[in-house]
Amino acid sequence: MKIIHSDILSFPLYENQSFLVSKYQRLTRRIIAAGLASPDELLTPAEATLAQITRVHDPDYVDRLLKGQLSDHEIREVGLPWSPQIIERARRTAAATVETCRWALQQGVALHLGGGTHHAFSDRAKGFCWLNDCAIAAQAMIAEGLASRVLILDCDVHQGDGTAAIFRDAPNVFTFSIHGCTSYPYHRQPGDLDIDLPADAGTTAYLEALEKGLETALDRFQPELVIYLAGADVYEDDRFGCLALSREGIAQRDRMVLSRFAEFRIPVAVTLAGGYARLIEEAVEIHMQTARIAFEFHRSGYC
């Protein structure tokens, strides 16, 4: 199975960046140590092109983003300091999700060790997200004629507000977000299907709701490709989450998602999205678990 990673840059770090960069570096080492991929098999993409980005993002916003001309208010909204390196990273993250979709279409399941920057709107950065990698990837697949109907399944604990707003009137992209009701963002954007769970819902209630949601999504929309945000921040000991899933419950979630789409031979591009467990190793372990499950499905001859 192809594993794509965009985690090649290091630079002076703000607290949340430090956690994330360290998490992804540890994860990459674990992937290699576990024999899921050799260093040469980890693909590192170039940056997303301007044409790919501006299919989703407002050209004026993109211009100001690349030149470092966002206002103080806009920078506060994203919660991270601007730097050329962090924008290069955002562009590589978007390109990595594009590549992950391409590989998924060829081999059934592919994995990006990152991505899921779902709070970025067409014309603004928000919540650690500068560019919406999943939206850029969905539009790239449609523009290139590789898929005509894309489902974005967002299982991060936070609603995919940017993604929902971007595709509000798009008939060929279906946005389904299942998230926690007390979590950021406080102003939801209506997607095609939203499930807002109560705080501390726990594993059983979550899995029941997800199962029904998958049924509804498949009834209403027949995707040719799924982009899956396998957020680890649904975990019970996540600093920013509220849904209180166990680690085993998250494994059940990943298996439920992949088996549902495998049944219909619908390719799935997996991105990891959020994960901020109090102990960094736990966040890494949950992402590793998702990677192992993706491998199981790949090995079982998914498509």
Would you tell me which residues interact with Zn ion (CB under 5 A)?
156, 158, 233, 274
Closest CB to Zn ion belongs to which residue? 274
Q: Alpha carbon of 53 to those of 49, 58, 140, 223: distances in Å?
A: 6, 9, 9, 22
Q: Alpha carbon of 251 to those of 3, 183, 202, 247: distances in Å?
A: 19, 22, 14, 6
Q: Minimum Å distance from CB 153 to Zn ion?
A: 14
Nearer of residues 23 and 158 to Zn ion, judged by Cβ: 158
Nearer of residues 92 and 179 to Zn ion, judged by Cβ: 179
Q: Minimum Å distance from CB 106 to Zn ion?
A: 29
Q: Minimum Å distance from CB 285 to Zn ion?
A: 17
Nearer of residues 29 and 239 to Zn ion, judged by Cβ: 239
Q: What are φ and ψ of residue 238, in 5° steps?
A: -85, 140
Nearer of residues 185 and 202 to Zn ion, judged by Cβ: 185
Nearer of residues 62 and 195 to Zn ion, judged by Cβ: 195
Q: For the chain, where are the E strands, in sequence order?
A: 3-4, 42-43, 109-112, 150-154, 173-180, 193-197, 225-229, 268-271
Q: Minimum Å distance from CB 262 to Zn ion?
A: 25
Q: What are φ and ψ of residue 105, in 5° steps?
A: -65, -30
Q: Minimum Å distance from CB 241 to Zn ion?
A: 7
Q: Alpha carbon of 48 to those of 32, 143, 162: distances in Å?
A: 26, 14, 18
- Positive/negative CA dihedral, 13, 286, 87, 127: negative
